[in-house]
Structure 1
Amino acid sequence: MKKRFVSMLCIIAFLFVSICGRIAYIVFSNDFTVSESYNSYVLNLETLYPVIYYYNLEKLTDNRDKYAAVLRPNERTLTDLHNLFPSSQINEITNELKAGYPLVKYVDESKIGNEKYIKTFRMSDYECVQSQLISKASSGLLSYVEPCGKREMRFHIDALGRMLRGDEGEEFEESLSNIKGIRLTLDKKVEEIAYSALSDMQNGCVVIMDVKTSSILTCISKPDKSYLNKAFSQYNVGSVFKIIVAACALENDIEFYYNCSGKTTVGDTEFSCQKNHNHGFENLSDALSNSCNCYFVNLAQKLGSKKLLATADKLGFNDDIKLYDEWSFKTANLPNKEELSSKGELSLFGFGQGKLTVSPLQMCYSLCTIGNMGVKNQVRLVYSSLDENANEDIVKYKASTRVLSEETSKELLNMLRNVVENGTGKSAEDSYHKSSGKTATAQTGRYILGTEILNTWFAGVYPSENPEYAIVVMKENGKSGNEDCAPIYREIVEKLNYL
């Protein structure tokens, strides 16, 4: 009996020692096995956003391959790094892996296939040719879009938080939203035409919109690598604002004639036309064609601030333009009534100078309304959202409103045609003789080596009769609207004829 008792104690002692040894092995050894009962370390691979589409449903984002590698903290990974990464990056990665947790690193596509032990996978790509409009870095559309999912890789860890050897990780994808795609109003063919026309521009932008709907067809900023969306930014606008002043005069039945001598004085301030040019006797159409500052200084005094501000307001200059959910912004800064009580400030306002700043988008929006015979629509960028089955939920926009008479719009369009045919916009004339618009050479009050920086513009519609497109071209640090921007407009409309 005593021998049996001793034998039993020996067996129990052996089992106890074996269990303790196993526990010690698991705790102190790196040779672990994977078990679902252990805790997990979650590695975030990427946050997923809806795919952005052109209007024709061609992908704008996630349309090219982009790869990343999951790097686990073990010897095999370290020996494989040179197959995927340059030597300059390997030291940095090695130091990061010393923390004992896996990493995600982007990999050059040309290196894919060389790896032996490192796991690589395709990532979503949100960079695109419209980065200033779309990317989060430029506060574009994706800054206001909720993530639609996330991808993670989960690794098992022991009680001390250490990775288990041999664990390759398990990938999970979680859906966060039913919206998997966003269809925009952007037209890829129009975009390509605009990009080609802007190939030589260093600093500036172009905006092209659909006149009938006020839909943005493309907006491109230069330089390409900049995160600043210049189409949505405000600039000194100069003489293209004379379009708005002319609309005000027509709406209020003001017939004004003026004999321009090249200079005019209001109070104790003298204003002049470019190069003190003497334009002689002019009506509104002549003055717009000649871009006569003296005429518009005196017209502004006759109209007064109340009428001018009311017309600008009707054409959207006080609007917060809303492009998507919480994405809205002001696109113009008008001087207020008190500021315009100064005759000098009112004079400057008459030809688009002074405290006035306007974005290219806003000028294009105003031209949409004029080209649409005085009917104003809400600016549109997002056409619809798509679920995972491609079911489409079309965005509902505000109803159209008439803000200008049809007669005013028609007469103003004829005047803009005259600017190209006989005035300062001759460089915009296309081979079909359908171009129309207004030039500007706007003073900024900023200087480089004693020379003032000028913002130059061409803003117009096309074709001049029954317009389809509103187009604004703006160049920073230019020479003149007719020299810098009108030829770009011409190149664009020549190619739009073939769409």
Structure 2
Amino acid sequence: MWKKRVMVVLALIQISIFLLIGRLVQIQLVSTESFSVKKVNLIEESVAQRTQELMIDDGRGMFTDRNGKPLTKQYIPSLVLFPFLKTMEWPVEQVANILHISPQVIIDQLQKAKEPFVLTMDSHPFVLSEKQMEKINQLHIPGVFAVNKQYPLEKVYAPHLIGFTRADSRLLRSRYPKRHLPPHTEVGIHGLQKAFDEFLIPEGETKLLYHVDAEGGPLFGLDVKYSDPSNPFYPVSVKTTMDRDLQKIAERAADEHHLKKGGIVLLDIPTNSVLAMVSRPDMDPSNPYKNHGAENQMVLPQIPGSVFKTVVAAAALEKGMVSSTEMFDCGKKIDGVTPDRDHDYGTLGFEESFAVSCNNAFATLGKKLVEQEPDILETYAKKLGLYPLAGWRGDVYHETDFKQFPEERKGTIWHDERDKHVPLAVAQTSIGQKDVRVSPLGVANMMATIARNGEARQVRAVDKILYKNGTTLFTFPQQTFSDEPPISSVTANQLQRLLRKVVTDKQGTGRRFQSLPYAVAGKSGTAETGKKLANEELVNKWFAGYFPADAPKYALVVVELDCHSSRTVTNDIFFDLVQKIYEFDKQDKKSE
């Protein structure tokens, strides 16, 4: 009996040994680069345990504005020091003399160091000149390096447009299954970071490193390795169409007027490109989704209110449905019967009706238009570049439907086609209510289209992708908005006159902007949202326009969402922005 037990025990021991050997084979030979469900690279982890390193560049591509100014990160000439220096004799006085600082500053920081570090002054990296970098590196001191080190910008520009990244090993593997990337590699989650992630994903990190023993001393002498991917083309930079200085101006205006929800879109009319984009609520970088902060309100469909009357006006003018003699009862509501005691303008012509934003005039025109041609509002919304999507989309290498604005959502005009046969529903739609939803980006594009005499294009936020050496990898061309034929130049000119009259007319809803240094043309909008706060109705308050009116350069949309109509800041922000942009242009001309 005892012999059987011994045999069983021996067999179990032998099996255990074989299992242990198998496990060791798996760890040492088979799964060294992809161990466990977490795909851990055991070789890298082993090296990391006996290595001290300082990352110089994470290898991810960067974003710049149209003038090459960085938007996400910057490179600062810095002095890197390794902690083993405190155990050896080295010419600290010589380095200090090159930097014009006391040697004690370097010694004090070195004594506290347990890992490689960057020399700082007042908690900021000590910025080296090119000559200082050259002189320090010519000394060839082990553990002393002058390098251009990557740092995140202190100021986050256009966070809703640029977006953000995070380390997500599962998403990384699903997005790039054939690429061997470290699990801590960050991927684009939102905005341009997400749209351009495939171009931005790093080829590898650039870092300074050396091996240490258990006590932190150099393992193989004092030889510090400089490790980089050695690729002359990567990382790339994405050159946006934004202007960093104009973005600052726009963000400051939103903050100064305490805009809680809504935002700003500023387009360059000649190139139909985004110069600045602001969305509120603001985004907390540490918790982007807090209070819906990650939502870019400027690319999401919103209720436009009277801004949509521009579409009805375009269709009515093109179809010859209005004349200089036709009058509208602007003392009535959209049913044409009920008195409108809040907005009683009396009897007005077409141009005056547009200037004061008479609801009954455009409800009447909308009903006539839809009765003759049921799809006419969609058609002219497309002709004006308003609907359904405004952002650039097209083929980029193997991707056939690349979108520069990945969070942009389609607008709507009708939810139910049967509403086209219901007069009240058509009237409500014609004044930008009912089911009408369009994005502020689309509204800005509509204004740019009119300013360009009817030429509708897709809106770009990115101009090109550049290799590391500055050559072009890909250029995003200007593209027509849709297959719809454009409005006629005659209609475009008439719309320009209507938009200008909104400001110049003594009763115009944009008359406040008459005193601005740039002549403004535009359209206001107050959209009922159906929401209430403290028993007071909430509205979306818009002003959309372009300037200078006689030589259009900028299209600007400001919208405050879900606000009290009596306490809106839309017009204040629009006014200040036009004034500040005028001053910006004036200063820009002086510096040329």
Superposition TM-score tier, normalisation by shorter sequence: 0.7 to 0.9
* Cα distance in 2 between the residues matched to 1:59 and 1:488: 26
Letter in 2 for 1:421: T
Query: What is the match of residue 172 of structure 1?
Result: 227
1:207 equivalent among 265, 269, 276: 265
Counterpart mapping for 1:449-464 below 5 A: 449-464=534-549
Letter in 2 for 1:314: K
1:10-64 deviation per Cα after TM superposition (whole angstroms, max 9, x unaligned): xxxxxxxxxxxxxxxxxxxxxxxxxxxx954265968532221110111112137
Query: What is the match of residue 90 of structure 1?
Result: none
Answer yes or no: is the 8 Å Cα contact 1:149–1:173 preserved in 2: no
2:245 pairs with 1:189: yes
Answer yes or no: is the 8 Å Cα contact 2:59–2:206 preserved in 1: no
2:398 pairs with 1:332: no
Specify whether residues 439 and 399 from structure 1 end up closer, same or farther in structure 2 by C-alpha distance, changes over 3 A only.
closer
Secondary structure in structure 1 of the residue aligned to 2:468? coil
Shift of 1:340: 2.8
2:327 equivalent among 245, 257, 260: 257
Letter in 2 for 1:222: R
Specify whether residues 353 and 173 from structure 1 end up closer, same or farther in structure 2 by C-alpha distance, changes over 3 A only.
same
Answer yes or no: is the 8 Å Cα contact 2:333–2:339 preserved in 1: yes
Answer yes or no: is the 8 Å Cα contact 1:439–1:486 preserved in 2: no
Specify whether residues 346 and 116 from structure 1 end up closer, same or farther in structure 2 by C-alpha distance, changes over 3 A only.
same
Query: What is the match of residue 118 of structure 1?
Result: 115
Answer yes or no: is the 8 Å Cα contact 1:149–1:175 preserved in 2: no
Counterpart mapping for 1:210-359 below 5 A: 210-225=268-283, 226-255=293-322, 256-265=326-335, 273=340, 276-304=342-370, 305-316=374-385, 317-319=387-389, 321-322=391-392, 325-327=402-404, 328=406, 329-336=408-415, 337-359=417-439
* Cα distance in 2 between the residues matched to 1:135 and 1:124: 17
Answer yes or no: is the 8 Å Cα contact 1:331–1:361 preserved in 2: no
Secondary structure in structure 2 of the residue aligned to 1:143? helix
Specify whether residues 208 and 430 from structure 1 end up closer, same or farther in structure 2 by C-alpha distance, changes over 3 A only.
farther
Equivalent residue pairs, number: 417
Letter in 1 for 2:265: V
* Cα distance in 2 between the residues matched to 1:114 and 1:254: 83
2:203 equivalent among 149, 162, 170: 149
Secondary structure in structure 2 of the residue aligned to 1:415? helix
1:408-443 deviation per Cα after TM superposition (whole angstroms, max 9, x unaligned): 111111111111122111222233361121111111
Secondary structure in structure 1 of the residue aligned to 2:563? coil
* Cα distance in 2 between the residues matched to 1:481 and 1:391: 53
Shift of 1:166: 5.3
* Cα distance in 1 between the residues matched to 2:449 and 2:110: 55
* Cα distance in 2 between the residues matched to 1:112 and 1:444: 59
2:510 pairs with 1:425: yes
Answer yes or no: is the 8 Å Cα contact 2:75–2:150 preserved in 1: no
Q: Which moved more, 1:42-51 or 1:315-324?
A: 42-51
Specify whether residues 399 and 234 from structure 1 end up closer, same or farther in structure 2 by C-alpha distance, changes over 3 A only.
closer
Query: What is the match of residue 590 of structure 2?
Result: none
Shift of 1:453: 1.5
Shift of 1:205: 0.7
Letter in 1 for 2:152: D
* Cα distance in 1 between the residues matched to 2:259 and 2:567: 17
* Cα distance in 1 between the residues matched to 2:566 and 2:410: 21
Q: Which moved more, 1:296-305 or 1:166-175?
A: 166-175
Q: Which moved more, 1:113-122 or 1:412-421?
A: 113-122
Unaligned segments of structure 2, at least 5 residues: 1-41, 84-107, 119-148, 166-188, 284-292, 397-401, 586-592
Secondary structure in structure 1 of the residue aligned to 2:498? helix
Query: What is the match of residue 95 of structure 1?
Result: none
1:128 equivalent among 156, 166, 170: 156
Secondary structure in structure 2 of the residue aligned to 1:338? helix
Secondary structure in structure 2 of the residue aligned to 1:332? coil
Answer yes or no: is the 8 Å Cα contact 1:301–1:347 preserved in 2: yes
Q: Which moved more, 1:479-488 or 1:432-441?
A: 479-488
2:64 equivalent among 16, 40, 53: 53
Answer yes or no: is the 8 Å Cα contact 2:518–2:547 preserved in 1: no
Query: What is the match of residue 103 of structure 1?
Result: none
Letter in 1 for 2:331: S
* Cα distance in 1 between the residues matched to 2:524 and 2:339: 17
Answer yes or no: is the 8 Å Cα contact 1:430–1:494 preserved in 2: no
Specify whether residues 482 and 40 from structure 1 end up closer, same or farther in structure 2 by C-alpha distance, changes over 3 A only.
closer
Answer yes or no: is the 8 Å Cα contact 2:74–2:150 preserved in 1: no
Specify whether residues 171 and 135 from structure 1 end up closer, same or farther in structure 2 by C-alpha distance, changes over 3 A only.
farther
Give TM-score scaled by structure 1 length.
0.74
Answer yes or no: is the 8 Å Cα contact 2:517–2:582 preserved in 1: no
How large is the RMSD of aligned CA atoms in angstroms?
3.6
Unaligned segments of structure 1, at least 5 residues: 1-37, 73-110
Counterpart mapping for 1:21-40 below 5 A: 39-40=43-44
Secondary structure in structure 2 of the residue aligned to 1:333? coil
* Cα distance in 2 between the residues matched to 1:480 and 1:421: 23
Query: What is the match of residue 487 of structure 1?
Result: 572
Specify whether residues 115 and 344 from structure 1 end up closer, same or farther in structure 2 by C-alpha distance, changes over 3 A only.
farther
Secondary structure in structure 1 of the residue aligned to 2:73? coil
* Cα distance in 2 between the residues matched to 1:481 and 1:332: 28
* Cα distance in 1 between the residues matched to 2:263 and 2:527: 15
Specify whether residues 306 and 408 from structure 1 end up closer, same or farther in structure 2 by C-alpha distance, changes over 3 A only.
same
Shift of 1:258: 1.5
1:270-324 deviation per Cα after TM superposition (whole angstroms, max 9, x unaligned): 7775x53222222221111111111111111111142222101222302362368
Shift of 1:155: 8.6
* Cα distance in 2 between the residues matched to 1:379 and 1:56: 19
* Cα distance in 1 between the residues matched to 2:347 and 2:567: 23
Shift of 1:496: 2.3
Shift of 1:178: 3.7
